[in-house]
Structure 1
């Protein structure tokens, strides 16, 4: 029984790893934190447990230390997830995510928006090849265009 519980816990943790470590799921909290800390918001619209490109972006960029270091100093991270396993997201969060996807005109996954600290849209992107260093450069260029 103990081995079974450990296995279940490991699976649950790996499934939830996508939104772990600093990723918010509440848009209002993300906006408040961004305003307070004067940071941009990165919203990742994702199908974390079924979208191949979303999983690739998470593994190749978002989970890497280079991205995390940049994000810690410059971004508030927000995950708007649309998993196939609906039990991973509360009904309230799913309603919020659907509303946000409609407001932002999301048509596919992954779609990544960068918002200014005031909540205005700075830019839109998605998966980019090249790993975390190139992705950070890409984000910096999006942010620099609006300054």
Structure 2
């Protein structure tokens, strides 16, 4: 009987872990489709995932927390725009990320930009809501800044 209960708990736990798993799009066009359907802004995360200490710190202290996962699912479409040094990327992703880095004038990592997007006559328009980076104080402090951006109070 104990084995059955333990097996059921492990089985249920695997679903709980999956429920917390966030989907980070890497293709901005695909993310825009989701954003337009759900009426949620894009959260563009410009990161150097395998070399940027502050990016890794932001990931560990905020972006990988249950608080952020809950907030993100309710409020934004997540997009990771990575500039790794050791991880290979497709030429299409490199091109897309470099173009977006230019469009938004990203000069340092990590930078998070919150935007609404529209596509008209084959052209993409971004309406910038605001940007942030690493914020000390864990998920509560970071989410406070993000909520102010989304609610146009920053």
Q: Distance in 2 between matches of 1:22 and 1:44?
A: 13
CA contact (8 A) 1:23 1:78 kept: yes
CA contact (8 A) 2:50 2:87 kept: no
How far off its partner does 1:117 sit?
5.4
Q: Distance in 2 between matches of 1:27 and 1:116?
A: 12
Query: For residue 110 of structure 2, what is the aligned residue in structure 1?
Result: 110
Aligned residues: 127
Query: For residue 13 of structure 1, what is the aligned residue in structure 2?
Result: none
TM-score where L is the length of structure 2: 0.78
User: Which structure is higher in helix share?
Assistant: 1
Q: Distance in 2 between matches of 1:66 and 1:25?
A: 22
CA contact (8 A) 1:122 1:146 kept: no
SS at match of 1:23: coil
How far off its partner does 1:40 sit?
1.2
Query: For residue 81 of structure 2, what is the aligned residue in structure 1?
Result: 80
Q: Distance in 2 between matches of 1:85 and 1:78?
A: 20
TM-score where L is the length of structure 1: 0.81
SS at match of 2:74: helix
What are the Cα deviations for residues 29-61 of structure 1, in whole angstroms up to 9, with x where unaligned?
Answer: 111111100101100100000000000001100
| Larger relative contact order (Cα-Cα within 8 Å, sequence gap ≥ 6) | 1
Query: For residue 136 of structure 2, what is the aligned residue in structure 1?
Result: 129
Query: For residue 25 of structure 1, what is the aligned residue in structure 2?
Result: 26
Runs of 5+ unmatched residues, structure 1? 1-19
Runs of 5+ unmatched residues, structure 2? 1-20, 119-125
RMSD: 1.6
